[in-house]
A = this chain, B = another copy of it.
Amino acid sequence: MGVPLFKELRRTYGFDEVAIVPGEVTINPSMAVTDFGLGDHVFSIPVLASAMDAVVSPAFATTMHEAGGLGVLNLEGIYTRYPDPYSILEELTSAPQEEVTSMLQRVYSEDVKEELIGECVHQVKKTGAICAVSITPQNTKRFSPMAVEAGADVVVVQSTVTTARHMSRSYRGLVFSDLRHSIKVPVLVGNCVTYGASLELMETGIDGVLVGVGPGAACTTREVVGVGVPQVSATLECAAARDEYFKRTGKYVVVITDGGIRTGGDLCKSFVCGADAVMLGTPFAQSEEAPGRGYNWGMANSHPELPRGTRIKVGTKGSLESILFGPTSITDGTQNLMGALRVGMGMCGAYTVRDLHKAEMVVAPSIKTEGKHFQGLA
Contacts and interface: CB of A to CB of B under 8 A. Distances in A.
Interface of A: 1, 3-28, 30-31, 97, 101-102, 105, 160-170, 192-197, 200, 213-220, 222-233, 235-237, 239-240, 243-244, 259-269, 272-274, 282, 296, 301, 304-315, 326-333, 336, 339-340, 343-344, 347-349, 357, 360-367, 369-375, 377-378
Contact of A306 (B105, B311, B343, B370): B343
Contacts of A97: 378
Contacts of A244: 4
Nearest to A285: B374
Contacts of A3: 10, 194-196, 237, 240
Given A27-B167, A362-B233, A378-B313, A327 B344 contact: no
Given A217-B375, A230-B370, 17 more contacts: A3-B194, A6-B237, A20-B226, A24-B196, A25-B166, A25-B167, A26-B163, A30-B169, A31-B168, A101-B330, A102-B329, A226-B272, A226-B344, A261-B371, A264-B306, A306-B343, A315-B377
A226 B22 contact: no
Contacts of A235: 6
Contacts of A14: 364-365, 369-370
A19 B229 contact: yes
A13 B331 contact: no
A258 to B, nearest CB: 11
B333 A224 contact: yes
B348 A328 contact: no
